[in-house]
Chain A
Amino acid sequence: MQLPETLAFYLLVGLGVAGAAYLTDNRPGRLRRGFSLVAAALFWPLFVPILLAARAGQTQPAATAAPADDPLAAAIAQVQHELDAALGGMDGWAEDVLVREKSRLDELRAALSVQASRIRNMDALLAQTVEPTADRPDTKQEAPDEARWLKSEQARRDNLARLYQVRRQAYIDLRATLAWIRELVSMIHLARFTGAPASRAEELVAQIAAAIEGVSAVAADPAAGPVLDDSPHFASASLPAARSLLTHPILDKQETSSCDSCSIPRT
């Protein structure tokens, strides 16, 4: 295939990509959209990943969408809003730490949503649970069955009570985490306006990012979370433990391995 044929195919694909780019571009301004159209037709290999990523991003929120009037979602949204405002105010002061901690902050946001979703699911389950009356055996004619029925019913009630305790603890933990993040956000504002060094901001952001440790452990693996108030896991999973996470779990970890092929110093 000669160059003209190659160019023809290249531009044919480019026209398709340009059409897709034009349809998905919601920005105002004819000039901008016109430039994007032409650029996408000519340089479509650079635009294809962005178009595909935008499509994937649009499908994600639907899976984890919360009801519009959900107070837990509203509380998380408010904390995230305050956090974004605080982090947005760090430009020119300590923006490096934002780049460094970006992935963990994103994980924290996701973990908060997952934990809220978990609580909502337990709420829905507990709300649907009703008193069993129809299947209760006749006490005069079926005495042995009655005893078994009562035993099972008692076990069921115990399990539901435990489920309620788990839900209650998850809720308390989530609220405490949100309050902890808000406290740290206020500390960032305070540090910023009192002329604190950038290292202080980095420390605070690292602490916020470290809250992921407390949330995601419960959200991702419910078995690792608190089961009962008297469980030994209970205290360790609750938020005050997160206050001990004053050091960065990744950055403060000493690298012991050296480069296997050169003597370039540790980064």
Chain B
Amino acid sequence: MSNISRLQPASPTPTLPPRPRNLFPVWLAALLAVLWLIVRDLEISFETLAYGVADIGEYFSRYREPDFSDLSRYLELMGVTLATALWGTMFALVVAFFMAPLAARNLSPHPAVYRAAREALNFMRAMPDLLLALIFVAALGLGPLPGALALGVHTAGFLGKFFAESLERVDQGVYEGVTSTGANFPQLVMYAGWPSILREALGYVLYILDRNVRMASVLGLVGAGGIGLALHDTLRMFDYGQSAALILVILATILIIDYASAWLRRRLG
């Protein structure tokens, strides 16, 4: 055992290897430069902002006395808004239910089908719901229905992508287990796909419902029904009392839906 002598270090202690270049400060500086350029380009003058901030206090004080005289009409409008969100979400759910398995790489019957389904879902997500609402209003006239359709199409894209990604994360073995019994595509999806992601899927649906309630409340601005239009009108007429009341109604509803969906999600485990 004469190896011990080899453990002695060579004459001077070796120096540390050169420190790897840290590019982080470079990225940070570049980012700050970009931000500064943006501020310049948007012509955001800090003066206006400063005045604005000073005025903000005064401005928000105008909302101090909400005027609930028209409350019953507001609640009705909020009801329409909620209904619009519900129908839109259900429509999205139906579309996503059929498209998601096609858009999951490990389930899709053919790579071309997979790509087509993914692109379709991306397209549906990319179009802002407001644009879709405008289009549907042009085709169907004013009212909440075009709003519901617009929400449905847009969020179908999101829901479809979420579902598809969940389906792709399922252990391949579970799929093989059902496939090896001779099940065909619809059977595979129903027995190995959806049961495996049920909890996640419900969470996504609740999240989208939540999101649709928010969007539905502004769709009124383009004539697609609901409370948004009322708010636009009252603000335009500088009726801060009514605006405050409207905002509070919207706020209260959204908070209730938030709590309800969080509660539901906790109960699902």
Co-complex (A, B) = no
Q: Which A residues are closer than 8 A to B by beta carbons? A: none
Q: Which B residues are closer than 8 A to A by beta carbons? A: none
